[in-house]
């Protein structure tokens, strides 16, 4: 037999993947090192499946501070189920802490480091199975990419969502509330005392931020992909329920190892269709577009933004969650969680492929059978959906020939078209200064460019400018377009992922102050009211992009990264040497 990456597993005695490092006289030195770890006690242990725990524990990320404890629960469960656990760690970046400065340049690139690191440990040590333990931001998709790439039997269990905070008026708060509070404070609408109150209470403890931001979007989508157990997306981080979910997931790794259920068996075209259907039904983060495409690429599944748009057109929007409403993840869990949304789509939507197998050994239909909403205000029925189309849209037009992304669920429902005059900024920081100084006025479309995968580099999030716009009360009167991306906490008339990006000579680089821009949500289009002839003339004066970073990881990333519409994946051998 052969491993997914092409390495041969040979030898008459090999029955398990890990036998490569522990069977035969030639592996005796390696066995001595395995005994030295203390995880392997005797010859009987040496015969058991070796299970990796890929843990993203890191103390500066609140979504991950409890994962060290959860990993110990997982280890015990794996041993009880007959396996030998070996824990290793990946890096992690907290987008909220990294926001608005050079740290954000490392956020999306960290996804590739995580995927590469997990691949390295899994392949170097020939594990039989893997329990992946991510939670926040780029860490979940990075691990999913590694799982698809290595194709070793795996189960995912995330750390779970944070509880909502409480504002001075007793209302639920999330991280997006905090960013918008900064905008309100800068414009004189919020006192210093109230800002401090928000700051100290918006994020009350461990877990991924409490709204349907990128982390919770991805952790929920894993239920639809079939790689995580039910309630993975919503069971709160600091509960016994989450601990029990970890125990079950750890033991389930032994099941998928025994039955050789591998990630690519589950990550099919239909699985990605269903994951995006869930995404549309709950108005997930725009970052899911980037990450889903990247994961599909690693799984060898052809998938595009056009596929996503087709799913959006036929999927009802049944759960509007913060930042698009005041409902948080704990509210969604109390209403029945992701299984309710999936069952609603199966029973009445006719959208999913419900008979796909999952890591539970059961189908999606079996996993969610009988799950009905406990609160129809939070999880609507299909008949009472917010919209009969999904919460995300892919826009095309002369500004974004290869596509752009907007969270339509985060736009006020009576806004179907926005027409405004361009006000252009060539960086995130210049845009923030322009908004804070009052240069940006009602009727403007803020253009932030040279912040894409290459241009940023790293495609930083634009949460500060979008939050400042909303916090100043301009969310209905100012649009924003960018070749950068957004936090899941972004709401308003905000279009990101514009492709091609400015650094690649995309038309967004040709926009001038005062140009008319039309964002048409009904027709899924975004147009610059400038003729092709005029754009061609402007292109003759366009300066060649000069990379901002010349050394270190970001320089290498900048040289290898592809466009947002391809998921921002790194170029492979065929692309690097296509012309040679």
* Gap between the Cα atoms of 170 and 185, Å rounded: 19
Query: Which has the closest alpha carbon to 260: 74, 16, 5?
Result: 16
* Gap between the Cα atoms of 228 and 274, Å rounded: 14
Give the residue numbers of the binding site for Mg(2+): 95, 137-138, 461
Q: Are residues 505 and 375 in the same domain?
A: no
Q: Are residues 269 and 155 in the same domain?
A: yes
Pairing outcome for strands 417-425 and 516-520: antiparallel
Total number of residues shown for the chain: 580
Q: Decide if 132 contacts 147 (C-beta within 8 A).
A: yes
Quote the radius of gyration of the chain (alpha carbons, Å): 24
Q: Are residues 471 and 529 in the same domain?
A: yes
> H or E element: which one contains 322?
none
CATH number at residue 467: 3.50.30.80
Q: Is 540 exposed, middle or buried (0-12, 13-18, 19+ CB in 10 A)?
A: exposed
The pLDDT value recorded for residue 502 is 98
Q: Are residues 111 and 78 in the same domain?
A: yes
194: in domain:
no
Q: Read off the tokens for 11.
A: 């030898």
Q: Are residues 370 and 239 in the same domain?
A: yes
Per-residue pLDDT tens digits of the chain, which is 580 residues long: 345 554 444 443 458 999 999 999 999 999 999 999 999 999 999 999 999 999 999 999 999 999 999 999 999 999 999 999 999 999 999 998 998 899 999 999 999 999 999 999 999 999 999 999 999 989 999 999 999 999 999 999 999 999 999 887 888 888 888 888 888 898 898 899 989 988 898 899 999 999 999 999 999 999 999 999 999 999 999 999 999 999 999 999 999 999 999 999 999 999 999 999 999 999 999 999 999 999 999 999 999 999 999 999 999 999 999 888 999 999 999 999 999 999 999 998 789 999 999 999 999 999 999 999 999 999 999 999 999 999 999 999 999 999 999 999 889 989 999 999 999 999 999 999 999 999 999 999 999 999 999 999 999 999 889 988 988 899 999 999 999 998 877 789 999 999 999 999 999 999 999 999 999 999 999 999 999 999 999 999 999 999 999 999 999 999 999 999 999 999 988 888 876 5
Q: Are residues 284 and 215 in the same domain?
A: yes
- If one counts the domains in the chain, the total is 2
Look at residues 383, 407, 426 and tell me which one is the last residue of a structural domain.
383
Residue range of the domain that includes 45? 18-164+204-383
The pLDDT value recorded for residue 163 is 95
CATH number at residue 231: 3.40.50.2300
364: in domain:
yes
Q: Are residues 301 and 329 in the same domain?
A: yes
Q: Are residues 253 and 117 in the same domain?
A: yes
Q: What is the dihedral of CA 225, 314, 352, 320, to 10 degrees?
A: 60
Give the residue numbers of the binding site: 95, 137-138, 461
Q: Are residues 413 and 375 in the same domain?
A: no
Q: Are residues 420 and 318 in the same domain?
A: no
Look at residues 322, 354, 383 and tell me which one is the last residue of a structural domain.
383
126: in domain:
yes
Query: Which has the closest alpha carbon to 177: 156, 155, 201?
Result: 201
Query: Which has the closest alpha carbon to 275: 294, 260, 259, 262?
Result: 294
Q: Are residues 362 and 419 in the same domain?
A: no
175: in domain:
no
6: in domain:
no
Unique residue bearing structure tokens 């580099």 = 457
Beta-carbon count within 10 A of 347 CB: 17
9: in domain:
no
Look at residues 349, 383, 417 and tell me which one is the last residue of a structural domain.
383
Q: Among all residues, which ones are annotated catalytic?
A: 487
* Gap between the Cα atoms of 467 and 406, Å rounded: 15
The pLDDT value recorded for residue 11 is 40
Provide the terminal-to-terminal Cα distance of the chain, rounded to the nearest Å.
33
Q: Are residues 91 and 63 in the same domain?
A: yes
């Amino acid at each position: 037999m052969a491993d997914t990456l092409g390495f041969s597993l040979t030898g008459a005695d090999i029955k398990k993947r890990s036998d490569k490092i522990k069977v035969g006289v030639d592996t005796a030195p390696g066995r001595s090192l395995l005994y030295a770890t203390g995880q392997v006690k005797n010859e009987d242990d040496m015969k058991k499946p070796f299970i990796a725990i890929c843990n993203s524990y890191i103390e500066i990320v609140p979504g991950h501070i409890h994962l060290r404890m959860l990993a110990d629960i997982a280890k015990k469960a794996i041993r009880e189920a007959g396996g030998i656990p070996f824990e290793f760690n990946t890096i992690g970046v907290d987008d909220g802490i990294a926001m608005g400065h050079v740290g954000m340049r490392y956020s999306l690139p960290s996804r590739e480091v995580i995927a590469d690191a997990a691949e390295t440990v899994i392949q170097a040590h020939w594990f039989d199975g893997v329990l992946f333990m991510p939670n926040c931001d780029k860490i979940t998709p990075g691990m999913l990419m590694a799982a698809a790439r290595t194709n070793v039997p795996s189960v995912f269990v995330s750390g779970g969502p944070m509880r909502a905070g409480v504002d001075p008026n007793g209302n639920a708060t999330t991280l997006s509330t905090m960013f918008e509070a900064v905008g309100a404070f800068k414009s004189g609408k919020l006192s210093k005392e109230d800002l401090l109150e928000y700051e100290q209470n918006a994020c009350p403890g461990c877990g991924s931020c409490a709204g349907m931001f990128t982390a919770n979007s991805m952790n929920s989508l894993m239920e639809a992909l079939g790689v995580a157990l039910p309630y993975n997306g919503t069971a709160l981080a600091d509960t016994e329920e989450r601990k029990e979910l970890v125990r079950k997931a750890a033991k389930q790794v032994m099941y998928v190892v025994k039955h050789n259920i591998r990630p690519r068996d589950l990550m099919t075209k239909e699985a990605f269709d269903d994951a995006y259907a869930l995404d549309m039904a709950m108005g997930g983060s725009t970052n899911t577009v980037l990450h889903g495409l990247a994961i599909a690429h690693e799984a060898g599944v052809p998938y595009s933004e056009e596929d996503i748009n087709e799913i959006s057109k036929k999927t009802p929007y049944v759960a509007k969650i913060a930042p698009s409403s005041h409902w948080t993840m704990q509210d969604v869990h109390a209403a029945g969680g992701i299984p309710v949304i999936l069952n609603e789509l199966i029973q009445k939507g006719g959208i999913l492929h419900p008979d796909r197998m999952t890591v539970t050994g059961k189908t999606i239909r079996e996993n969610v059978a009988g799950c009905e909403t406990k609160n129809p205000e939070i999880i609507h029925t299909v008949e009472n959906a917010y919209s009969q189309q999904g919460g995300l849209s892919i826009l095309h037009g002369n500004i974004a020939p290869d596509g752009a992304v907007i969270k339509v669920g985060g736009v006020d429902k009576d806004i179907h078209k926005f027409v405004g005059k361009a006000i252009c900024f060539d960086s995130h920081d210049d845009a923030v200064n322009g908004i804070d100084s009052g240069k940006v006025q009602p009727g403007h479309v803020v253009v932030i460019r040279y912040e894409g995968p290459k241009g940023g580099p790293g495609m930083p999030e634009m949460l500060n400018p979008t939050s400042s716009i909303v916090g100043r009360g301009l969310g209905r009167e100012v649009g924003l377009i960018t070749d950068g991306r957004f936090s899941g906490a972004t709401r308003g008339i905000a279009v990101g992922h514009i492709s091609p990006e400015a650094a690649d000579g995309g038309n967004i680089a040709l926009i001038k102050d005062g140009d008319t821009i039309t964002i048409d949500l009904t027709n899924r289009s975004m147009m610059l009211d400038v003729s092709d002839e005029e754009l061609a003339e402007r292109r003759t004066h366009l300066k060649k992009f000069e990379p901002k970073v010349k050394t270190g990881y970001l320089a290498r990333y900048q040289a290898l990264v592809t466009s947002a519409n391809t998921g921002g994946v790194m170029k492979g051998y065929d692309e690097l040497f296509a012309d040679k």
